[in-house]
């Protein structure tokens, strides 16, 4: 069984609904919140490219469901070794979030395990929340019955924030720390690092700590020195 670890030990503080920046995804965010807060809401299948915030929303939904008194499990399939065993190990939770469904495409045992979990959850009145980079018909699943079951879920698309939106979020998050990021610094960061918002915010945390320790303003020369020390070869 997948352990239900204490919330503070399991998930980052930032992965909550209030820390999600929806951009054009307001309707999708509302759909995920509905599933998380209201038992009996139709199951939801969330599709979007890497870096669009799927895992953030699934973890946020789990935290919201826990706060609502439900038992919860979160299964990040891409990081699981024996995926079939991991899926079969989930049991007894009222809310189950399954991330990275594409990781089981073509894995016959894992697909059958998910099909069984789907049917068992339906019979037990549990809530399922799914996430993948593609819709069920485009995921490459070999089990027709599983494609059919997933396709019967409510579906919502998630779009990544564009560069202007990511810049605005990074600038706003920096401002809450008393940091001013000018365009030169943002240009430098965006030219050299993955534009996944979560990765950029994690980097901002590290930069903030380093600048406070060094008592220096965040500039491009400071960033070069900090990253040369913290990421040799970068």
pTM score, whole prediction = 0.82
Domain ranges of the chain: 7-157, 163-230
CATH class of 7-157: alpha beta
Q: Which residues of the chain have pLDDT under 70?
A: 1-13, 194-195, 231-234
- CB of 136 within 8 A of CB of 62? no
For 133-171, write each residue's pLDDT tens digit.
Answer: 999 999 999 999 999 999 999 999 999 888 888 888 888
**Distance of CA 28 to CAs 13, 89, 156, Å?**
21, 29, 6
């Amino acid at each position: 069984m997948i352990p239900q670890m204490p919330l503070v030990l399991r998930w980052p503080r930032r992965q909550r609904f209030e820390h999600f920046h929806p951009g054009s995804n307001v309707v999708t965010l509302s759909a995920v919140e509905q599933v998380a807060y209201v038992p009996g809401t139709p199951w939801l299948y969330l599709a979007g490219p890497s870096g669009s915030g799927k895992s953030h929303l699934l973890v946020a939904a789990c935290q919201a469901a826990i706060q609502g008194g439900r038992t919860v499990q979160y299964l990040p399939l891409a990081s699981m070794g024996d995926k079939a065993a991991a899926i079969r190990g989930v049991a007894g939770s009222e809310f189950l979030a399954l991330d990275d469904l594409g990781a089981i495409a073509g894995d016959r045992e894992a697909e059958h395990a998910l099909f069984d979990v789907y049917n068992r959850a339906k019979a037990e009145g549990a809530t399922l929340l799914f996430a993948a980079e593609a819709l069920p018909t485009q995921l490459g699943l070999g089990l027709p019955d599983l494609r059919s079951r997933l396709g019967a879920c409510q579906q919502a698309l998630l779009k990544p924030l564009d560069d202007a939106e990511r810049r605005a979020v990074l600038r706003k998050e920096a401002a809450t720390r008393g940091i001013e990021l000018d365009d030169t610094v943002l240009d430098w960061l965006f030219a050299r690092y993955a534009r996944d918002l979560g990765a950029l915010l994690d980097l901002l945390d590290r930069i903030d700590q380093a600048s406070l320790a060094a008592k220096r303003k965040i500039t491009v020369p400071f960033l070069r020195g900090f990253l040369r020390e913290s990421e040799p070869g970068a």
